[in-house]
């Protein structure tokens, strides 16, 4: 059966991995919409290759270039943030939500409102609008499938089991490129070093989040909304090999773990084929060659991000949105050379301490909180 597919963030790493799988199973898919931020030539190439019905560039200044690149193709084109939302609202059997950061929130919500399957890679959207988004999923009968490797692993380990039987859920963290660095060395870390992840091929923002451990903190909050077992049952452990992606412990003492290669095509394939399975080109694990799997507790002195994220989740309401917005702005400031690596967590902590908005009741409320938190963090970065 041919299914329809939209990819929001088609030119990023998740989009590329998704479309690689579609390319290998081309007869199974009809591509509705592909979107990108500003990578017009890549977007046009993909739109032509997959005969997309619509191509959208979020940066409206790039729309003329997109029109030119797709002239004569019969593919509809559009530009601007609202056009991305409208593309998501076209609806598809499966929508891959892979726009990085809070920019993906409105398009993801638009896709949810169509009631299809949402393969979610944009953790920031759920972190910022967890209660609003999960309520929308229920209201519109959508299915939310996580494609972060950790949450997809949890989803697989929970398959066929009752959350009431869960004793704990453990998210694994690689520890990033700085896991063995001293606090003194961390203060001098450069953007080039921070984006050089030892295990995964990811974009700059998520790579820095891995280096600070904010990625794992955001994933903790995301897991809180996806798998509501209680924050006291959610744990984080550092696992440098990135082979075990998450674990679920049950009340009888059984622990189920999902293992796989460090390749995002594995969790993406799980979501695309759900409730079935599909082939991927990924090599099977060779545990003998890997040799050993090691685990250790996270160090929240050197990497306070997970502690801040847990506190934000415990506070609830709009506080996770504040944390996410402050982190996005602080990461951008670090990548631009404005602040030191260790100031990312410090700035997030400061904004969390001085900003306590009312709980959001709508997407508009979330976006207002996001904007205010960003403004406060930019002021901090500018004065650094």
C-alpha closest to that of 272 among 13, 25, 57, 51: 25
The verdict on 94 and 156 lying in the same domain is no
Q: Which two three-digit tokens encode residue 206?
A: 């998520």
The verdict on 13 and 133 lying in the same domain is yes
Residue list for the binding site for NADPH: 11-14, 122, 124, 203
Domain endpoint, select from 264, 284, 316: 316
**What was the pLDDT predicted at 57?**
98
Q: Which CATH number does the domain housing residue 35 bear?
A: 3.40.50.720
Residue list for the binding site for 1-deoxy-D-xylulose 5-phosphate: 123, 149-150, 174, 197, 210, 215-216, 219
Domain span at residue 115 reads: 3-146
The verdict on 160 and 139 lying in the same domain is no
Q: In whole angstroms, what is the distance from residue 221 CA to residue 128 CA?
A: 9
Reported confidence tier of residue 286, pLDDT bands at 50, 70, 90: very high
The verdict on 63 and 183 lying in the same domain is no
Mean pLDDT of 239-259: 97
Residue 118 has pLDDT above 80, yes or no: yes
- Between the alpha carbon of residue 242 and those of residues 157, 245, 264, 345, 381, the distances in Å are 17, 6, 12, 24, 33
The verdict on 218 and 131 lying in the same domain is no
C-alpha closest to that of 33 among 75, 82, 65, 81: 75
Residue list for the binding site: 11-14, 122-124, 148-150, 174, 197, 203, 210, 215-216, 219
In the chain, the number of structural domains is 2
Question: Edge-to-edge, what's the strand order for the sheet holding 166-173?
Answer: 234-238, 166-173, 244-250, 255-259
Q: Are 209 and 331 in contact, with CB atoms under 8 Å apart?
A: yes
Q: Residue 71 domain-assigned?
A: yes
Between CA 200 and CA 205, with CA 202 as vertex, the angle to 5 degrees is 130
Q: Residue 331 domain-assigned?
A: no
**What was the pLDDT predicted at 161?**
93
Q: Record the pTM.
A: 0.92
Domain endpoint, select from 298, 316, 334: 316
pLDDT tens for 20-70 read: 999 999 999 999 999 999 999 999 999 999 999 999 999 999 999 999 999
Q: Residue 363 domain-assigned?
A: no
Q: Are 12 and 100 in contact, with CB atoms under 8 Å apart?
A: yes
Residue 276: exposure state from Cβ atoms within 10 A (0-12, 13-18, ≥19): exposed
Mean pLDDT of 301-318: 96
**What was the pLDDT predicted at 377?**
95
The verdict on 40 and 125 lying in the same domain is yes
Q: Residue 323 domain-assigned?
A: no
**What was the pLDDT predicted at 203?**
76
Residue list for the binding site for Mn(2+): 148, 150, 219
The verdict on 141 and 155 lying in the same domain is no
Q: Are 361 and 343 in contact, with CB atoms under 8 Å apart?
A: no
The verdict on 79 and 203 lying in the same domain is no
**What was the pLDDT predicted at 171?**
97
Residue 295 has pLDDT above 80, yes or no: yes
Reported confidence tier of residue 152, pLDDT bands at 50, 70, 90: very high
Mean pLDDT of 99-119: 93
pLDDT tens for 186-232 read: 999 999 999 887 766 677 888 899 999 999 999 999 999 999 999 99
Q: Residue 158 domain-assigned?
A: yes
The verdict on 104 and 196 lying in the same domain is no
């Amino acid at each position: 059966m041919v299914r329809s597919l939209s990819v929001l963030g088609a030119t990023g790493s998740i989009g590329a991995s998704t479309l690689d799988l579609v390319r290998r199973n081309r007869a199974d898919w009809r591509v509705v919409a592909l979107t990108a931020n500003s990578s017009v030539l890549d977007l046009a190439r993909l739109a032509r290759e997959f005969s997309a019905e619509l191509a959208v560039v979020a940066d409206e200044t790039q729309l003329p270039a997109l029109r030119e690149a797709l002239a004569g193709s019969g593919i509809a084109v559009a530009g601007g943030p609202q056009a991305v939302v409208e593309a998501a609202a076209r609806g598809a059997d499966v929508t891959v939500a892979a726009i990085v950061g809070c920019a993906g929130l409105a398009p993801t919500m638009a896709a949810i409102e169509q009631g299809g399957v949402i393969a979610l890679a944009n953790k920031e959207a759920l972190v910022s609008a967890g209660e609003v988004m999960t309520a929308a999923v229920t209201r519109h009968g959508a299915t939310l499938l996580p494609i972060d490797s950790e949450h997809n692993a949890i989803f697989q380990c929970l398959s066929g089991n009752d959350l009431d039987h869960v004793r704990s859920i453990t998210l694994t963290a690689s520890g990033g490129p700085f896991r063995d660095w001293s606090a003194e060395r961390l203060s001098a870390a450069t953007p080039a070093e921070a984006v050089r992840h030892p295990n995964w091929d990811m974009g700059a923002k998520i790579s820095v989040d891995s280096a600070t451990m904010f990625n794992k903190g955001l994933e903790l909050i995301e897991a809180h909304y996806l798998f509501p077992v209680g924050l006291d049952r959610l744990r984080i452990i550092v696992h440098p090999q990135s082979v075990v992606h998450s674990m679920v412990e049950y009340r009888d003492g059984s622990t189920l773990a999902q293992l796989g290669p460090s390749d995002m095509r594995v969790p993406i394939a799980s979501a695309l084929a759900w409730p079935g399975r599909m082939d991927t080109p990924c090599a099977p694990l060779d545990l003998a060659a890997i040799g050993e799997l090691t685990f250790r507790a996270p160090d929240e002195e050197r990497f306070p991000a997970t502690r801040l994220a847990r506190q934000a989740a415990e506070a609830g309401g709009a506080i996770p949105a504040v944390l996410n917005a402050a982190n996005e702005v602080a990461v951008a400031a670090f990548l631009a050379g404005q602040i030191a690596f260790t100031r990312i967590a410090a700035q997030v902590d400061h904004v969390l301490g001085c900003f306590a908005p009312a709980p959001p009741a709508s997407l508009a409320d979330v976006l207002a909180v996001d904007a205010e938190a960003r403004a406060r963090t930019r002021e901090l970065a500018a004065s650094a």
